[in-house]
Amino acid sequence: MTKTILTVDDSRTMRDMLLLTLSDAGYRVIQAEDGMHGLEVLAGEKPDVIVTDINMPRLDGFGFIEKVRHDAEHRAIPILVLTTESDAEKKDRARRAGATGWIVKPFDPTKLVAAVRRVAA
């Protein structure tokens, strides 16, 4: 069965790239524009993996991950964080919030798919 990936990113460019890369790899992709929107989408979906940005309006990546991890229905979904190379502290914070893993931005399509595959059950 086709796996579904939810991407959460406020940048249209990034959303488009994630969509292209992940659908090319055979995934079904659903998208949200920020953490808040991500939670709304989750209300009606149960993706296999979530890929989320950190810097977003309304609800950032940290808040989003925390909320997902406190949601009984979605807590077990692997969440990958898109991080920039110099964000050691952010990565740590994301991990403490409950991130499953991370993808370095700008991402390489192969590595993105590899990271998704790595956490997808």
Partner 1 sequence: MDPMAAIRQTFFQECEEQLAELEAGLLAMENGEADSETVNAVFRAVHSVKGGAGAFSLEDLVGFAHVFETALDHVRAGKLEPSPEVLKVLLRAADVLADLVRAARDGGSIDESRAQKLADELRALNPSAEAEPEDDLSGLEFQPVHAAFDFDEDAPASPSENVFIIKFKPKPSLYAKANEAMLILRELGSLGTVETSCDISELPLLSELDPEGAYLSWTIKLTTPKSEDTVREVFDFVTWDCDLDIVNEAAPQGEPASTADNEVAALLARVLNGLDASPAGDEAPESPVAAPVAVLASALTDDAEPAAAKPAAAAKHAAEAKHATEAETKAVATIRVDLDRVDRLIDLVGELVINQAMLAQRVTEAGLARASNVVIGLDELEQLTREIQDSVMAIRAQPVKSVFQRMPRLVRELAVMTGKAVRLVTDGEGTEVDKTVIERLTDPLTHMIRNAIDHGLEKPEARIVAGKPEEGTVRLSALHRSGRIVIEISDDGAGINRPRVKQIAIDKGLIPADVQLSDEEIDNLIFLPGFSTASEISDISGRGVGMDVVKRSIQALGGRISISSRPGRGSTFTMSLPLTLAVLDGMVVTVADQTLIVPLTAIVETLQPKAGEIHGMGGSARVISIRNKFTPLIDIGRELSYRANVADPMSSVVILVETEGGGRSALLVDAIQGQRQVVIKSLEANYRHVPGIAAATILGDGRVALILDVDAVIANAQAKDLPVEASEAA
By CB under 8 A, name the binding residues for partner 1. Answer: 1-3, 10-14, 16-17, 20, 25-27, 30-33, 37, 40-41, 43-46, 48, 55-57, 69, 75-79, 84-86, 88, 91-92, 95, 98-107, 110-111, 114-121
What distance in Å separates the CA atoms of residue 76 and residue 104, rounded to the nearest whole number? 22
> Which residue, chain included where needed, has tokens 């950190």?
54
CB of 93 to partner 1, least distance (A): 11
Order the strands of the 28-32 sheet from edge to edge.
28-32, 4-8, 49-52, 79-84, 101-105
Closer residue to partner 1 in complex, CB, 48/64? 48
CB of 1 to partner 1, least distance (A): 7
Dmax (CA) for the chain in angstroms is 37
